[in-house]
Amino acid sequence: MRKPPHVIEIFLNPGEFYFGDRDVRIRTILGSCVSITLWHPKLLIGGMCHYMLPSRQGRETRLADGKYADEALGLLFEEIRRSGTALEDYEVKLFGGGNMFQRQIDAGQSHIGIKNAEAGRYLLKHHGLRPASEDLGGAGHRTVLFDIWSGNVWVRQFAPKDIEYCNGS
């Protein structure tokens, strides 16, 4: 599928989501955060979320917050309902959950990225969705590009860099 002549570029910060049509490219940068993309191959509509944590853990509020996996996915599901389409007609992809801290990598410790990835997998399975592809875990951050006109998601992972501190001497 060819790129539309006038592409709208959307950049998602942590806690944000976007749902749009074939003229949209969504970008984000993920560290330990996770993004889920949903794409309707016939209508060329879809969306992406960028969540930071698996859940709110008991903190009550009236408004859904895209910072949390379950609520971010719920916000996307609401957009699907508004579009009059069925969830099962969407292709789903899952990205992120990297380890950003060299000490944890060296020690083989669990980290928030793993928990975010597990939350995404669990939620998709709970809703009867199976990812067409995923790129989760590992070390470092990722850039993610989602072209709604084609459903293609482009991912590039960068290794963590050791931080050097200068003591001023």
What single letter denotes the amino acid at residue 94? L
Token pair of 36, please? 């889920």
The pTM (predicted TM-score) of the whole model is: 0.88
> What is 92-145 written as a DSSP string?
EEEEE--B--HHHHHHT---HHHHHHHHHHHHHHHTT---SEEEE-SBSEEEEE
Encode pLDDT of 80-105 as tens digits: 999 999 999 999 999 999 987 656 55
Identify the band that residue 159 occupies on the pLDDT scale cut at 50, 70 and 90: confident
Percent over 90 (pLDDT), the chain: 72
Our answer to whether residue 166 is catalytic in this structure is no
- Which overall architecture, per CATH, does domain 8-158 show? 2-Layer Sandwich (3.30)
The 3-class secondary structure across 10-34, one letter per residue, is EEECCCCEEEECCCEEEEEEECCCE
Whole-number CA gyration radius for the chain: 17
Torsion of CA 124, 97, 37, 47, to 10 degrees: 110
The answer on pLDDT for 17 being more than 50 is: yes
Name the residue with tokens 């050791």: 162
Catalytic residue among 33, 44, 48, 69: 33
* Residue 96 near residue 35 (C-beta atoms within 8 A): yes
* Residue 73 near residue 123 (C-beta atoms within 8 A): yes
Encode pLDDT of 64-73 as tens digits: 899 999 999 9
